[in-house]
Structure 1
């Protein structure tokens, strides 16, 4: 039996006092695939409800975001302040009053609530019995068929009709995202080695613009910091440690970046960085376990390559808790698997946010309720408006679900119809982030697991119109995969980078690993170097990247035209000239991008 939070007892007597209200359905979902109902949830189990209030002027925020991110607009780089962003997304006072009154009706005092910086989210811990009354629903315990994770959820909920104008969504209710598959897109290479690669012969790489660069031949078997700087034309560039530029990484699912592993990596690949480290920020119960056996493969990979590429730029690792599975007969005061909102609440509350942030985690888009996905995406837009560039891995399942083995992908809709469809990933599908796909080998070709495709939740943003329209008109034969994807959806990925055979140190040992979890911190590293260029020249940071990438930045990218990423029993899409849903616009050519970002 769960131990209730102290104030939960106060709610119990107030439920009967709440006046009866006619409820109207807010959301209903089909029982998701692979989740099985074990029966009613314990009445005294505590749920951390997050209540989203409508953002009063998000349309204006979005307009500002596109203007200040368009290098041809006179307002380019005029990022908004924390206070300006909060004013645009703050709920209307009527909504604040209505939600407060509704909570009070159920005996929930103001002192029991916590609020996001803009007050557009209200969080309160309540027992199941009260949540069921508030939402006119019944919560059950659900168990996942594969790994036996258990969550307390419902398949529908309602609100009093007069509250629909004041509440957009309440979670966790219908949120069945499988958090072990809110995955680090991580994979060990078939070959693992404890021996450092030794530079030998060189390979001449001819970029898509005809320029040539030399890359150590060893980079075809082992990717190092040196390899990436050679391949992406950044050899010799040294960023500032003191100009205010910062880079950050996010960590979830109890992933800890090990400092001793980082020192081994630096000794192996970045000797100038030896004895330097990074800042760790703990959010929502996040941890920083430095025991060697607890070293996180994803966290070590992200930290070693992002901070190795950008040394001595100050780096931060955000360790966010709140996403472990729970067993409902264990004392668990919270049951939250929405860590993006916990992280967003924290970061948006800061007056200074790192200019570049990479995240190597994601879900199948369809497992995230569309209302929740759109609110999280709106949070990313707020960061973009404040001048932060956000990179997300595009996933490791090609056009399919996150299973990297095409033979075992289900590729069926999660709405009870079980229709075969390509499965895009989230948050990569959010139009306000930069989705990073993967390449392999020297010269580069598309890696066969690079996640890509088209969102079913978000429409195609205008910055993609020309590139994606050209792809459909001249690169994809008419009728190819008809019905398997949404041709009007936000297209994924935007860009790409090397994503396999990365030499990392985990638990004191060297391994080769890969995944688009390697390409996202890699691309972010070069974005941070570009921010260093701009800041050192008195310019504002790049902020939201995509309007720049699609209008001018593509000229500083290496177009990848070979390879494909299969999935769902198909060969998937092909890499081709121009934008494609495997490698996006291509991989970075830092020297060319450096000139481009100083041209406006």
Structure 2
């Protein structure tokens, strides 16, 4: 297969170096991500929507503010920034704005240019031929081994006059597909010979049925949230993101409420729908989606009656050559970030259950998307993402069949972290199964980023503000885990200095939900993420009632003051890439993170 990739790339590489123009290569892939091959030339009448990211020269200042307002020991804890303050901190330099405007004008592009709220992203819709001229490149239709298609290139260039005024341009080298992290089960998991009751420190018990079928009641019992009643009138809110035409059905939500949250059913509770970039949410029952239904039913079911929002972001599923679609954007994260950052009051907790292999996402794109998440965190928004469902890479422990190879000419075996789970500005949630004991799910994603180092302050920051309690806040937790790893087993498989994930975990199997009018059961970190988000919304409820600000960016709090509010998970592992993956151990580990929440303990710690 590798030789086929090289053969497919030869004409493209030759074409790339035949240009006599003064352009300089801005980004180039040494090889396409695994599984992709050139299918055909891109259609001559194809249109593309290019997104141009301008540098954010003061992003380091935003990061400083984010950490200051997120440290529970800092004097500014909870003093979140306004939308306008965030925009001022990430705005591009006027020189960059002028340089890009002149470049676009030189190509006849002066109107119909979209601008992000801070002006750090520009959007233009142009013929593909114009994009190839501007970027000195050649697009092709690429086909994946599973049959999907994208219109992409493996390199692009920029004139010297604008080279330093652009961080990245997409869609160019982004082959990511951002898939939902769930799988269907025809029936719940049945387990024999497990204890029927859990005796928590609180004295609560858990119904034995929760070992085979997960419900809203089970989650409240397992995580010690039984009896807590949130309010609808304290300004609290929770949101769920939807991509790739995944639709959340309100009739199915009502069935879940009738089944598990009768108080919500009694008032016919539903969510607010917000369309992003023309996204829709079809209520045709036959088009109801597993992912969107799972996310909304459990995030909103756990947090009722807190105000809830479902976002549907338009972004074409993979390109279909036979349809000759006029545009092929397919990068909804940026579209959603642009939209939500343009509004002054986004939901206080937002859950996302879509991810992809980090190596399929250009590092430049991953960093800019992650910077967008930081902007939301600085405004007091908690971002929850799923850790992924393929263990440390492909979920395959068999060395003979594993597919975790580096995406370069070395073709070496390595673990494959997921994105956006690897972004340091989100809280990443892994999965568990059963209780007494609660065990890490074998599929749960976990590991170490190759793009992002573990969070730590810069020396320039330390000269400006007092030393925070969470300086390098992950290091202490992660170092203990790394110290006990057998070096010979893991050498070269992961980046030991990378941002470590997951941060926490929650139940992730046999979730009883409704799809197209019928009961079904789901498994995956797509279940654990919205469940944890629902519990965070309950904590925000308590803080708002007490006159305190919302929790916002959680990680500095989790690794310090709130660490004692989690149940340590010490059983399980996440195989993949021909290995058994990492093992759950005492303390933080790259399978379960800090563990699963004890809402009762966390409630006392944050109020």
What TM-score, normalized by structure 1, do the two folds share? 0.91
Distance (whole Å) between structure 2 residues aligned to residue 377 and residue 202 of structure 1: 43
SS at match of 1:576: coil
1:239 aligns with 2:230: yes
Any conservation in 2 of the 1:397–1:406 contact (CA below 8 Å)? no
Any conservation in 2 of the 1:392–1:434 contact (CA below 8 Å)? yes
Distance (whole Å) between structure 1 residues aligned to residue 301 and residue 401 of structure 2: 36
2:66 corresponds to: 65
Distance (whole Å) between structure 1 residues aligned to residue 322 and residue 260 of structure 2: 48
1:433 corresponds to: 426
Give the Å deviation of 1:42: 2.5
Give the Å deviation of 1:328: 3.7
Determine which of 461, 473, 479 is the counterpart of 1:469. 479
Give the Å deviation of 1:414: 2.3
Distance (whole Å) between structure 2 residues aligned to residue 465 and residue 312 of structure 1: 38
Within-5 A mapping of 1:25-424: 25-29=25-29, 30-109=31-110, 111-146=111-146, 148-177=147-176, 179=177, 182-189=178-185, 191-192=187-188, 202-206=196-200, 213-274=204-265, 275-401=268-394, 409-424=402-417
**Aligned residue pairs, count:** 566
Output one character per residue of 1:119-167: Cα deviation in whole Å (capped at 9) or x when no partner.
Answer: 1000001112111111111111111121x22221111111001212211
Output one character per residue of 1:443-481: Cα deviation in whole Å (capped at 9) or x when no partner.
Answer: 2111111100000010111221110011112x3234331
Distance (whole Å) between structure 1 residues aligned to residue 398 and residue 226 of structure 2: 36
1:509 aligns with 2:505: no
Structure 2 residue runs without a partner (length 5+): 1-19, 456-471
Any conservation in 1 of the 2:151–2:319 contact (CA below 8 Å)? no
Determine which of 427, 442, 448 is the counterpart of 2:442. 448
CA gap of 1:90–1:405, structure 2 versus 1, over 3 A, is farther
Give the Å deviation of 1:251: 0.6
Give the Å deviation of 1:33: 1.9
Distance (whole Å) between structure 1 residues aligned to residue 394 and residue 221 of structure 2: 33
1:543 corresponds to: 552
Output one character per residue of 1:384-425: Cα deviation in whole Å (capped at 9) or x when no partner.
Answer: 000000000000011113789998641112234322111100
SS at match of 1:533: helix
Give the Å deviation of 1:36: 1.4
Distance (whole Å) between structure 2 residues aligned to residue 539 and residue 374 of structure 1: 31
CA gap of 1:203–1:290, structure 2 versus 1, over 3 A, is same
Output one character per residue of 1:83-118: Cα deviation in whole Å (capped at 9) or x when no partner.
Answer: 000000000011101100000000001x22101110
Distance (whole Å) between structure 2 residues aligned to residue 431 and residue 402 of structure 1: 23
1:556 aligns with 2:561: no
1:3 corresponds to: none
CA gap of 1:318–1:264, structure 2 versus 1, over 3 A, is same
Structure 1 residue runs without a partner (length 5+): 1-19
CA gap of 1:434–1:90, structure 2 versus 1, over 3 A, is same
CA gap of 1:408–1:396, structure 2 versus 1, over 3 A, is farther
1:8 corresponds to: none
Distance (whole Å) between structure 1 residues aligned to residue 520 and residue 149 of structure 2: 33
Distance (whole Å) between structure 2 residues aligned to residue 283 and residue 302 of structure 1: 18
Distance (whole Å) between structure 2 residues aligned to residue 365 and residue 126 of structure 1: 29
1:587 aligns with 2:601: no
SS at match of 1:530: helix
Output one character per residue of 1:524-570: Cα deviation in whole Å (capped at 9) or x when no partner.
Answer: 01111011111111111100000000011111011111111111121
Distance (whole Å) between structure 1 residues aligned to residue 402 and residue 246 of structure 2: 26
2:464 corresponds to: none
Any conservation in 1 of the 2:152–2:174 contact (CA below 8 Å)? yes
Worse-superposed segment, 400-409 or 432-441: 400-409
1:12 corresponds to: none
Distance (whole Å) between structure 1 residues aligned to residue 489 and residue 594 of structure 2: 21
CA gap of 1:288–1:533, structure 2 versus 1, over 3 A, is same
Distance (whole Å) between structure 1 residues aligned to residue 405 and residue 324 of structure 2: 35
